A and B are shown apart, each in its own frame.
Chain A
Amino acid sequence: MSETKPTAGDFFDLPVNTSHLPPKEKRSKLLQALLDMDPNLSFDDPLENDMVLNMGPSHPATHGVLRILLRLDGETIINAMPELGYLHRGYEKIAENETYHEFITHTDRLDYLQPLHNNVAYILAVEKLLGIEAPPRAQYIRTMLSELARVSSHLVAFGVMAMDVGAMTLLLWCFREREKIHDIFDIVVGARFTTSFTRIGGIAQDIQDDGIAAIKAFLDQFPERQNEGERLLNRNRIFFDRCRHTGVISGEEALAIGLTGPNLRASGVALDLRRDAPYLVYDQLDFDVITETEGDSLARYYVRLREMEESVKIIRQCLEKLPQGSVHAHEPKKVLPRKERIYTRMEELIHDFMIVNFGVNPPVGEVYHAVESAKGQLGFSIVSRGEGHPWRLKIRSPSFCNLQALPRLLKGHLLSDILAILGSLDPVMGEADK
């Protein structure tokens, strides 16, 4: 310790200038009391007054049950540590005890803002393991519906982010649009929210004319509604001031941490699995990969907005190109037969019995398949030992990886910036905790 190190007294023990004040006998009691107060604070080191604050797990802006431990200096965040696991449901262990078909319903509850996308991601991994492929009509319907799911997920991200920074109206408008998407799922899938729509080698049922008409009606009015919502925020000074230059991350850092999806593209890295490793029918469709260069909360918000437009474009193309034909692959030992045929034909009855009771028994091996979900790269890695259920199933969930960037993004910002940053990261805890 050197003698010259300044102490608190050196900063605060300066003589108070009283020349502009009335003379001592004419001062009020209050003023005199203030002047008589000892200005020396009892801190040994005034800079060492940081505080630990707990945020969550029950907090309206943590998007579920995320808990963040914050170390604060005044209002500035020195360090942040997210604590996960409040919604850990043991998916990977559940998967080891269920057949491949049974686990489809569990994938709904992973990222519950876009259940259909998870169904598609999981079933593509299983089909890769089995070495089969769904017929083109099923592929197109899967693409179309997963893009609808992407829109519904981005709508929540859009509305909730706006609500977190103080704009309540947009949330209600976004949910109004989401209800329309739920209606479409109600017609096409039969369930409005948890869809469980995909099957090995196809989809649960073919899309009918009323479903196509509902999708068309939605597409016709959606761009206008989206524009309406944008107008609330795009010229909103409060929203801009809170989101611009908060949570800035460069492309290199984002890649090093493992960010994917809109969060990575907002940092200027044009990585989109739909274009870079095409699955389903994305190689036959024309769409743009949206990127922004700033890497802040506002850029992430813009990427999601533009992606909704791209999704609408993709769905329109799918509707135009939708081929005729079956939606179930002809693989009797792997694809569940139709119910009406089970009751009338012996072969189908046997196959149904074997698939339901013993599973589809894929060959011994290991696969990994990833899709570009609304949150980022959603991958399923399956290890098979030739049994009816996976020996090990690992989920690479984008929300979990995106949350790893949180300490880096929060450092140096103010306490109130957490909401703008967390809202723009758009994590879903069902997926992050698995």
Chain B
Amino acid sequence: MGLESALGEGYITTKLDALIGWARKNSLWPMPMGLSCCAIELMSAGDPRHDISRYGMEVMRFSPRQSDVMIVAGTVTYKMAHVVRKIYDQMAEPRWVIAMGACASSGGMFRSYSVVQGIDQFLPVDVFTAGCPPRPENLFNALIELQKKVGTSSVLDYRDRKEPIILS
């Protein structure tokens, strides 16, 4: 109390927010939910040329317990949607979701009986990425936008999501 009144309103919590936000945004560990074609471009993003580790994200963990951001890369069918949701539920909070590519964002070119028309029907999505599949550079753009979002969100109410970022 004394400290708060001496330093000004919300001094400690805002500084803590900034510190934790900075730490979080530079060590986002992805959960690569590689489903189809986009998964190959996701693998390309980790190759020596594109080098995803520049963003502190090379630690691809296939265990949902160890990851912060789920990259849904590829076509989600109704059969697979249950599995994707189950894996998302297993991830520890705070957690974020990137919809990589047209299929994950909107069903893409597959207007058919078996394909979910956009993963926002069953997952809260933070960033939508265009492309079929997006080039690795496009994925990095999504990651950087997500980093900005993570860095500026409050520690306590990160669940209070802003509007999803739509990259076109």
A: which residues have CB within 8 A of B? 57-60, 64-65, 85-90, 93-94, 105-106, 108-109, 112-113, 156, 172, 175-176, 178-179, 182, 192-194, 429-430
Question: B62 contacts A57, CB within 8 Å?
Answer: no
Question: B112 contacts A90, CB within 8 Å?
Answer: yes
Q: Which residues of A contact B46 (CB under 8 A)?
A: 172, 175
| Bound Cα distance from A180 to B40, whole angstroms | 15
Q: For the A-B complex with A88-B77, A176-B47 known, give 8 more contacts whose Cβ atoms are closer than 8 Å.
A: A86-B83, A88-B79, A105-B109, A108-B37, A112-B36, A113-B40, A182-B44, A194-B132
Q: Which residues of B contact A58 (CB under 8 A)?
A: 33, 62, 83-84, 87
Closest-by-CB residue of B relative to A183 is B49
Q: Which residues of A contact B132 (CB under 8 A)?
A: 194
Selected from A57, A89, A113, A193, the residue in CB contact (under 8 A) with B115 is A89
Q: Which residues of A contact B37 (CB under 8 A)?
A: 108-109, 112, 193-194, 430
Question: Nearest 3 A-B pairs (CB), nearest first?
Answer: A175-B47, A90-B112, A112-B37
Selected from A57, A60, A89, A194, the residue in CB contact (under 8 A) with B83 is A57
| Bound Cα distance from A194 to B33, whole angstroms | 20
Q: Which residues of B contact A112 (CB under 8 A)?
A: 36-37, 40
Q: Which residues of B contact A87 (CB under 8 A)?
A: 35-36, 74-75, 77, 80
Q: Which residues of A contact B74 (CB under 8 A)?
A: 87
| Bound Cα distance from A88 to B36, whole angstroms | 11
Question: A176 contacts B40, CB within 8 Å?
Answer: no
Q: Which residues of A contact B47 (CB under 8 A)?
A: 172, 175-176, 178-179
Give the shortest distance, in Å, between B116 (CB) and chain A (any CB): 11
Subset of 16 A-B contacts with CB under 8 Å: A58-B33, A58-B84, A58-B87, A64-B35, A65-B80, A86-B83, A88-B77, A108-B37, A109-B109, A112-B37, A156-B40, A172-B47, A175-B44, A176-B48, A176-B49, A193-B41
| Bound Cα distance from A88 to B75, whole angstroms | 9
B95-125 with Cβ < 8 A to chain A: 109-110, 112-115
Q: Is B133 interfacial (CB-CB < 8 Å)?
A: yes
Closest-by-CB residue of B relative to A90 is B112
Give the shortest distance, in Å, between B149 (CB) and chain A (any CB): 25
Give the shortest distance, in Å, between A163 (CB) and chain B (any CB): 10
B55-92 with Cβ < 8 A to chain A: 62, 74-75, 77, 79-80, 83-84, 87
Q: When A58-B83, A86-B80 are in contact, do A175 and B43 touch as well, CB less than 8 Å?
A: yes
Give the shortest distance, in Å, between A419 (CB) and chain B (any CB): 13
Q: Is B34 interfacial (CB-CB < 8 Å)?
A: yes
Question: B77 contacts A179, CB within 8 Å?
Answer: no
Give the shortest distance, in Å, between B142 (CB) and chain A (any CB): 17
Q: Which residues of B contact A108 (CB under 8 A)?
A: 37
Closest-by-CB residue of B relative to A176 is B48
Closest-by-CB residue of B relative to A112 is B37
Task: Give the A-B contact count at a CB cut-off of 8 A.
Answer: 87
| Bound Cα distance from A58 to B67, whole angstroms | 14
Q: Which residues of A contact B135 (CB under 8 A)?
A: 192-193
| Bound Cα distance from A62 to B86, whole angstroms | 18
Give the shortest distance, in Å, between A416 (CB) and chain B (any CB): 16
Q: Is B39 interfacial (CB-CB < 8 Å)?
A: yes
Most buried by B among A58, A105, A178, A192: A58
Question: A194 contacts B133, CB within 8 Å?
Answer: yes
Closest-by-CB residue of A relative to B134 is A193
| Bound Cα distance from A109 to B115, whole angstroms | 14
Give the shortest distance, in Å, between A232 (CB) and chain B (any CB): 15
Q: When A65-B80, A87-B77 are in contact, do A429 and B36 touch as well, CB less than 8 Å?
A: yes
Q: When A58-B33, A194-B133 are in contact, do A90 and B49 touch as well, CB less than 8 Å?
A: no
Give the shortest distance, in Å, between A153 (CB) and chain B (any CB): 10
Give the shortest distance, in Å, between B53 (CB) and chain A (any CB): 11
Most buried by A among B79, B109, B114, B135: B79
| Bound Cα distance from A86 to B34, whole angstroms | 12
| Bound Cα distance from A86 to B84, whole angstroms | 11
Give the shortest distance, in Å, between A171 (CB) and chain B (any CB): 8
Give the shortest distance, in Å, between A229 (CB) and chain B (any CB): 13
